[in-house]
Structure 1
Amino acid sequence: MNRRQQKEKILDEFAAEHSHDQQTLDRYINLYPEARLELLELASEIRLVTDESRFATSPIPDPGGDEAWTVFSSANTESLGRTNPFSQLRGKRFAEISEKLGVSRGFMIGIRDRRVREDSIPERFLSAASQIMEVALEELRQYLREEPGVLATAEFKADKKPMVTEQVTFRQLIDDTEMTEEQRCTALGYLEDVRSD
């Protein structure tokens, strides 16, 4: 693992911490002095985002708001009965799954967010992922067959509202995702038994 990857792993672990207070920051700086500057920058960004007092607003009465929220939140009721096999994979655990599969976290995020057409994902990858994630293969397949969507729990701060991106093939995700040469070779290895993507 090169220096950049080590620092990225340290930053991911810090970001996954429950608390980002001064004590947690000091502990990480003492453990990883080589990542001091990056840890300070990340802690500042996290504090800016979580400083709710800067964004305090008072609610504006909206008689149609509750009705609109009800319609919005029930828009994807079809998948409510199904389990999201990625729901318990956060932070360090998500990184471990990516590492065991030999692919980057960015690649696994594409899989998790269903940016990839399910019919283009090689059986070898699905089998390996279901075993490592400790979920039934059919449960994983079913989840990946669903349409990609914007998470109802996500919060966005952007000039444009979030949009669902068009799905790509497994091969296109490999080509489009930043990863090491070793990770790219591993991802391409999952395609070896596939005649076309």
Structure 2
Amino acid sequence: MTSSTPSIDDILAMFATDLGHDPEVLNRYVCLYPHAARDLAALLHELELQKALAGDNPIDARSEVWIDGLSIDIASAPNPLANLDIARYASVRDALGVPTIILNAFRDRLVAAGTVPLRFLEQLAQELGTGLSELIAFLAQPPGLQKAVQHKSDKAPRAPMTKVSFASLLDDAGVSAEQALELLAED
């Protein structure tokens, strides 16, 4: 039995079936099928438009930001954290009010961007001096490890296959419950 990559149509059909109110679905599909990112974004846009027109409701701001972010070339989105010196890195971390491990997770694309409140993403983009759509396109890429990171082990370190939610990242980083609620607030 041989396994083959599903066709774009199969990927889109699976995506449409899995799509619900789970923000992880888009991240998961973009990570699994980066070559289909534009098609996934187009399908999401079409489905959101159909839903909006059916209920006479406009597309919500979060969906628009995602759609705009995915309309640029995801594979070529630069890392806005890559060239920060130590002082600037610390300045961004302090402005966001998060531990370094949180910023490192964003740098390595370990966070499922769909789980991060739009307010936090906007503040992060502003602190990094980049556009929100560029930041989202960067975060939509598969997880990776900073090349300069060195480890002592028998094998080279690898990035994890799946991304974590922002809430679980905050919990794993030891952020207090009060601070986590503030960071997870939408407004």
Q: TM-score, normalised by structure 2?
A: 0.54
Equivalent position of 1:193 in the other structure: 186
Report SS of the residue matched to 2:76.
Answer: coil
- Of 167, 170, 177 in structure 2, the residue corresponding to residue 174 of structure 1 is 170
Equivalent position of 2:76 in the other structure: 81
Moved over 2 A (4+): 78-82, 150-157, 184-188
Q: Does 1:121 align with 2:116?
A: yes
- Of 88, 94, 99 in structure 2, the residue corresponding to residue 93 of structure 1 is 88
Equivalent position of 2:127 in the other structure: 132
Tell me how far 1:95 sits from its aligned partner. 1.0
User: Contact between 1:174 and 1:188, CA under 8 Å: does it hold in 2?
Assistant: no
What per-residue deviation string (whole Å, max 9, x for no partner) do you get for residues 75-112 of structure 1?
x9x86733211122231211110100011111111121
In 2, distance between residues paired with 1:193 and 1:79? Answer: 25
- Of 156, 160, 175 in structure 2, the residue corresponding to residue 161 of structure 1 is 156
Q: Does 1:145 align with 2:152?
A: no
The residue identity in structure 2 corresponding to 1:140 is L
User: Contact between 1:102 and 1:187, CA under 8 Å: does it hold in 2?
Assistant: no
Note closer, same or farther for the CA distance 1:80–1:167 as it changes in structure 2 (3 Å cut): closer
Query: Between Structure 1 and Structure 2, whose CA radius of gyration is higher?
Result: 1
Query: Higher relative contact order by CA 8 Å / sep ≥ 6: 1 or 2?
Result: 2
In 2, distance between residues paired with 1:112 and 1:185? Answer: 24
The residue identity in structure 1 corresponding to 2:114 is D
User: Contact between 2:110 and 2:144, CA under 8 Å: does it hold in 1?
Assistant: no
Tell me how far 1:152 sits from its aligned partner. 4.6
Count of aligned pairs between the two proteins: 115
Equivalent position of 1:102 in the other structure: 97
In 1, distance between residues paired with 2:135 and 2:106? Answer: 11
What per-residue deviation string (whole Å, max 9, x for no partner) do you get for residues 28-57 of structure 1?
xxxxxxxxxxxxxxxxxxxxxxxxxxxxxx
Which runs of 5 or more residues in structure 2 are unaligned? Answer: 1-33, 35-72
Note closer, same or farther for the CA distance 1:150–1:98 as it changes in structure 2 (3 Å cut): closer
In 2, distance between residues paired with 1:89 and 1:172? Answer: 26
**Root mean square deviation, CA, Å:** 2.5
The residue identity in structure 2 corresponding to 1:193 is E
Tell me how far 1:140 sits from its aligned partner. 0.6
